[in-house]
Amino acid sequence: MASTGGSLRSEGGVGLTVDVVITNHNYGRFLEEALESACGQTYPGVNVIVVDDGSTDDSAEILARFSDRVDVLFKDRGGQASALNAGFERCAGDVLLLLDADDRLHPRAAELIAAAFAADRDLAKVQFKMDVVDAVGRATGETRPSYSFEPPTGDLRRAELAFPFDLPWLPGGGTGFRRQLLSGILPIPEQEFPRWGADWYLVHLSALVGPAAALDESLADYRVHGANGYELTRPELDLDRIRDSIRYARSTTRALESLADDLGIPRPDRLLSTADLANRMISLKLQPRSHPVADDRRGRVLLDAARALRRRFDVHWPTKALLAAWFLAEAAAPKPLARPLATLFLFPERRVSLDPLLRRLRKQHVSANLAKLR
C-alpha cells in the first residue's frame, strides 16, 4: 500500500493507463535510447507521445523508425513549456510521466509508478530517484537528488508556501503525476519559461493540488553531457543560469501565490525562498548591472533572507546560523572572495568538510519537523 507519510515500495501492475511524454530538440544522438526505454516498459498500459520541438538534426529519421510504436508530433521551435503543453494535449491516460530525450526510463518505471498511484487515489505526484549517467550512458555513481536526503512526502502545501524551492526536489523527469489533478494548473505559461524551467512550474504547483509519495527505487537514468538545459557538468559558477533561475523562481512564485488564492489555501503575504535569495545575492554581488530584478538591493535581500530562515521549520538552528553567516559574508565580501563563497554555497562537492556536518544536523531535525507537514 502506498503511503504519503514516507518513502514506499510498490509491487505489481494495476489497471491505470500511463502516458510517457518525450520532448526533443536536436537530441538525435540520445533519442533512440529514450524511445527504446519508453517502449520497453514491462507495464502493458503505456502510451508514448513524442513532441519534436523544431529539431534540425537526424531526429526525424530516428522517429520514423518508431512511427508504429509511438505518437509523434512535429512542431516549430517553441521551447520546453511549449513542447510539454503540446504533449499534454495528446494525453488521455491516468498517469503522466515526463522524459527528456537525453534520459532513459528503467524497464519497471511505469509499472511501479502506476501501482503507487493505484494504492493511494489522493496522490498528485510520485517521486523516484534517478541514476546519473554520462554522455555515453555510463553510470557515474551519483543519484538525483544528489544529497543523501529523501524527497519530502505527504501534504506539502504548508512547506511549499513557507519556503518554496528549499526542500530537496526532483526534476519533472523524476516525478510521475496524476493527470486529472494537473488539469487545474495547465497549460504551463510559455512566455514565462521560454527555454527550460517548465518542470519547476509542474513540480512546485502540483504540491498544492494533492499529496506526494516517494518510491525507494531508482527508475530512470539522468544524463549529464555538457549541453543540458540546467545541469552543469562541472561545479563552476554560470551567472547566466543563475539569472535564468531567478526569473523562473519569480514566475513560479507568482503562479504559486495565484493558485493558493484560487484554492483558498492560507499563505504568507510574500513567498520567500532561501535558495532564490542566495541566487539573487550572488547575482547582485558579482554582476549587478545584469541582475534581472530591477529594484533589488543587497540590504533588502539580507532582510528577506532573515525572514525566510525564520520560516523554515525543516532545518535546525545551527544550519540556519550557517546560512545566515553565508548571506552576511557574501554581502560584505570583496568580489574576489564573493565568487568562491558563491561556489561553496551552490556546489556541495566544493564544501566536502562542511557537508557531513550539515547532513547530520539536517537528519537530526528533519524527521520531527517534516511531521508538521502532515
Residue 370 pLDDT > 50: no
Given a cut of 70, is residue 331 above it in pLDDT?
yes
Question: Does residue 56 form part of some domain?
Answer: yes
Residues whose CB is less than 8 angstroms from the CB of residue 197 and which lie 6 or more positions away in sequence, other chains included: 80, 230, 244, 245, 248, 251, 252
Q: Is residue 231 part of a domain?
A: no
Q: Sorting pLDDT into bands at 50, 70 and 90, what band is 150? A: confident
Q: Of 176, 199, 223, which one is at a domain's C-terminal end?
A: 223
79/348: higher pLDDT? 79
Residue 107 domain-assigned?
A: yes
Domain end marker among 223, 255, 272: 223
Q: State whether 289 and 186 are in the same domain.
A: no
Q: Which residue has the cell 556546489?
A: 347
Q: Residue 139's pLDDT is what? A: 95
Residue 170 shares a structural domain with residue 32: yes
Residues 192 and 265 placed together within one structural domain of the fold: no
Residue 2 lies in a domain: no
What is the number of domains present in the chain? 2
How many Å apart are CA 223 and CA 80, to the nearest integer? Answer: 17
Q: Could you tell me if residue 262 is inside a domain? A: yes
Q: What is the CATH number of the domain that holds 98?
A: 3.90.550.10
* Whether residue 145 sits in one domain with residue 16: yes
pTM of the predicted structure, to 2 decimals: 0.86
pLDDT digits (tens, 9 = 90+) for 186-225: 999 999 988 788 988 999 999 999 999 999 899 999 999 7
In terms of residue numbers, what domain contains 286? 239-373
Is residue 29 located within the same domain as residue 174?
yes
Same-domain pairing of 213 and 284: no
250 and 298 co-located in one domain: yes
Of the CA atoms within 13 Å of residue 241, those in its CB half-sphere come to 12
Task: Give the β-pairing of 125-133 and 139-144.
Answer: antiparallel
pLDDT score for 183: 87
Task: Please indicate, yes or no, if residue 234 is contained in any of the structural domains.
Answer: no
Is 312 within a domain? yes
Higher-scoring residue by pLDDT: 143, 325: 325
Q: Is 44 exposed, middle or buried (0-12, 13-18, 19+ CB in 10 A)?
A: exposed
Based on the fold, state whether residues 34 and 141 are members of the same structural domain.
yes
Sign for the pseudo-dihedral over CA of 169, 171, 176, 182? positive
Q: Do 42 and 98 share a domain, yes or no? A: yes
Instruction: Kindly report, residue by residue over 151-180, the tens digit of the pLDDT.
Output: 899 999 999 999 999 988 888 899 999 999
341 pLDDT more than 70 = yes
Residue 228 lies in a domain: no
- Whose cell is 495528446? That residue is 90
Q: Which of 223, 253, 275 is the last residue of a domain?
A: 223
- Per the CB < 8 A criterion, the answer to whether 70 and 99 are in contact is no
261 and 196 in a common domain = no
Q: 3-class SS at 88? A: helix
Q: Which DSSP string do the residues of 13-67 spell out, in sequence order? A: --S--EEEEEEESS-HHHHHHHHHHHHT-S-S-EEEEEEEES--SSHHHHHHTTT
Shared-domain flag, residues 30 and 142: yes
In this prediction, residue 285 has a pLDDT band, given cuts at 50, 70 and 90, of very high
pLDDT higher at 356 or 370: 356
Residue 230 carries which DSSP code? S
Same domain flag for 66 and 112 = yes
Q: Closest Cα to residue 59, out of 32, 38, 102, 28?
A: 28
SS3 125: strand
DSSP annotation of 191 reads T
Chain segment 36-84, per-residue pLDDT in tens = 999 999 999 999 999 999 999 999 999 999 999 999 999 999 999 999 9
Which of these, 332, 333, 294, 326, lies nearest to 309 by C-alpha position?
A: 326
